[in-house]
Structure 1
Amino acid sequence: MTKRAVEYEIEKVRLGRHLSRGAVRQLLTDQAEYGGWELTRLRRYRDGTRDIWIRRKIIRVPASV
């Protein structure tokens, strides 16, 4: 039996300064709950914009023999 390395799909999202902290939290919660995404990194800039990296596992089904 061989173990495979886990592969992830990564997406970068940029959110504007007009969104409140609660709105961003709700957006990330929805992505996690319904899309299977998890937060990898969040970076907030001085002007209020945010860069968010989210990821989810890529599930590969082995070919049948």
Structure 2
Amino acid sequence: MPNNNNGRTRIPSDWDLTSEDWEYIPLRLPPDVTRVTASMRLAIQAEFGGWELSRVRLYTDGSRRVLLKRKKTAHHVPQPGI
């Protein structure tokens, strides 16, 4: 699905991203990404970027919308490039 968020997807309307303690990043995984591959990609982001899984929504076409979160920090850590 096309988006306006610098390569990231629009988030579902019921996902709240407002927090003083957490930063969030929504991602879209296309239908051709298997569950195992998605799991491995997200695990790498968790390990090296400090992100953790907040929400996942699976759509009938096989695509997924994923919301990652991490505690806000004073130093800059790159955003995931999945």
Alignment TM-score, normalising by the size of structure 1: 0.80
Deviation at 1:6, TM superposition (A): 5.8
Counterpart-to-counterpart distance in 2, 1:59 and 1:11: 15
**Structure in which a larger fraction of residues adopt strand:** 1
Q: Which has the higher contact order (CA 8 A, sep 6+)?
A: 1
Which has more helix, going by share of residues?
1
For residue 27 of structure 1, report the CA deviation from its aligned partner: 0.5
Aligned-partner SS, 1:55: strand
Equivalent in the alignment of 1:23: 37
CA distance in 2, matches of 1:50, 1:21: 10
The match for 2:11 is none
What is the alpha-carbon root mean square deviation over aligned residues? 1.8
**Residues of 2 paired with 1:38 and 1:6: CA distance?**
17
> Identity rate of aligned residues, in percent?
38
Amino acid at match of 1:7: D
**TM-score, normalization by structure 2:** 0.64
SS in 1 for 2:45: helix
Structure 1 spans left out of the alignment, 5+ residues: 61-65
Secondary structure of 1:32 counterpart: helix
Runs of 4+ in structure 1 off by over 3 angstroms are none
Distance 2:25 2:40 in 1: 17
